[in-house]
Structure 1
Amino acid sequence: MPIKKFIETDVAHFFQASGYTMQGLIATYRSEIAFRQEVVLIPVILLVAWFFFGFPSALLLTGMWLIVCAFELCNSAIENIADLVMPENNDFIKRAKDAGSAAVGVAIVANVLAWLYMMYQ
């Protein structure tokens, strides 16, 4: 691929996608209290993990918490789309929202297990 076409398409797409990522992070941070709480815990997790554990373990624990944040972003997307499609109560919409919430819960349980493993290995 010629370098000019690469810059015009791939590099431009990268920066455009990065902008969408920032917009999604900011919008979710502003509108979802659970996401704000998870983001606020990132520095705490970083400090504790990096202070008490070695580099590989701290890296794993930090990455695990970022996965929780990623699931929370997906859960927020599911809830926003569900509310747009059907604002009134509906069993299918409720199951979709509950499944998104369960995904976040499972990720948190995985974090607890990872922390327990690191503390007692």
Structure 2
Amino acid sequence: MTQPVSPYKGKTGLRRVLNAAGYSWAGLSAAFRHEDAFRQEVFLALLLIPLALYLGETGISRALMIGAVLLVLIVELLNSALEAAVDRISLEHHQLIKRAKDMGSAAVMIALANVVVVWALVLLG
């Protein structure tokens, strides 16, 4: 049995890039609208990124501090996508669904801990 081919996969060149940019913007907008944690982390990033530019003494220290903050946003987007997909499949309480959501949450927690560790190491030397 063959899987149907997506009509969007045939796009190439500039059209593919523009489509991808549109989908990415839609994903960011949806996360900001529907995910409280993502909004909080965006506001934290809006505070921390300029602070990293000010406090970082070298380009590498600034990049490490900003990269750690951006990693939180990336992991939160992936966690939110996982939760949305799982909720689409079933809203029933199931141990595997709980495990998947808990693991996504743990990934966000580790990314947040990474911010603390990176910033402490950069700022305290």
**TM-score, with length taken from structure 2:** 0.87
Identity %, equivalent residues: 39
1:39 maps to a residue whose letter is: V
CA deviation after TM superposition for structure 1 residue 56, in Å = 2.2
CA deviation after TM superposition for structure 1 residue 24, in Å = 0.2
SS of aligned partner of 1:89: coil
**Which structure 2 segments of 5+ residues have no match?**
1-10
| Pairing of 1:13-24 with structure 2 (within 5 A) | 13-24=16-27
Would you say how many aligned residue pairs link Structure 1 and Structure 2?
A: 114
Query: 2:12 and 2:54 mapped to 1: Cα distance?
Result: 43
CA deviation after TM superposition for structure 1 residue 53, in Å = 1.3
Aligned residues: CA RMSD: 1.1
User: Does 1:9 pair with 2:8?
Assistant: no
1:37 maps to a residue whose letter is: Q
**TM-score, with length taken from structure 1:** 0.89
| Pairing of 1:20-35 with structure 2 (within 5 A) | 20-35=23-38
| Pairing of 1:1-121 with structure 2 (within 5 A) | 9-54=12-57, 55-121=59-125
**Which structure 1 segments of 5+ residues have no match?**
1-7
Answer 1 or 2: which has greater helix percent. 1
